[in-house]
Structures are given as structure tokens and as C-alpha cells.
Amino acid sequence: MNTARQRPVAKHPNHPLRALHTTTLGILRTAVGTLALTRAVDTLRITGVDRVTATQLAWTARLAGIRDIALGAGLLTAQATGRDTHTWITAGMLADTADVSVFATATARGHLPPALGAAMTTLALAGAATATPLLRTPKTGE
């Protein structure tokens, strides 16, 4: 009996535009994660948090950064090795959707300035929306 693990094969044909879209999504997510990880205090300061509080809470930005690096790197690795990217794309969309909820709630409660909260909520929503076309089943010839 062969106990070797078989790797999941991509569900969708790798059309050049689909591959570019997937790769771009992975690179952007990894870049955002790297920024949050390496510039955690500055990332928090953008939200209006003072330097002392941002320094104390930098670990929260680093957690989000590590999450996005893992999701981006996983997506890029799956893409590069011909494995199924669906799970990575879905996980990224779930993370972005959670971010939408957190940013919108923080804005509604007055923890974020309205303009900044709206911008952050919109960016998180855009992240989820950008991935949506990659989850649909392509038609023949796409």
C-alpha cells in the first residue's frame, strides 16, 4: 500500500490572467504583512494611536502581519507548485472579511477617526472582493 501523500492538484486551469491575478494577490498580501510586521508601531500610529500605546500594542500589528505573510506565502507557494490555491484564497478572504468587521466596529464605536476607519474598512473589503473572481469556476477557454 502506498502511504505517500498526494498533493492537491489545482482545480482550475492556469490561464495566464488567472495566474497573474493570483500571484499579484499573494505578493500584495505578503507585502502588507511584511509592512505590519516590520513597522508595527508606525502602522498603529497611522490609526491615531499615540507612540507609547502603539509601542505597547505593536504585537497586535505583528500578529496581523504574520497572518498576512503566511497567507500570501502559502498562496504563492501553491501557485508556483501547481497546487490548489482555492483554500489559500478562501482563507485570505475570511481574514479580510474579519478585518472589515473589526474596522467597521472600531469606527462605529469611535475608536478610529471616521475617515480613516472608512478607508481601512474599504481596503479590507477591497481585499476580499479582489479575490472573489479567483474562486469562481472558469468556463472552457478562460
Tell me the pLDDT of the chain (142 aa) as tens digits. Answer: 555 665 555 555 568 899 999 999 999 999 999 999 999 999 999 888 899 999 999 999 999 999 999 999 999 999 999 999 999 999 999 999 999 999 999 999 998 889 989 999 999 999 999 999 998 865 544 4
Delimit the domains of the chain by residue range.
Answer: 16-133
CA 83 vs CA 14, 54, 74: distances in Å: 11, 39, 10
| pTM of the predicted structure, to 2 decimals | 0.82
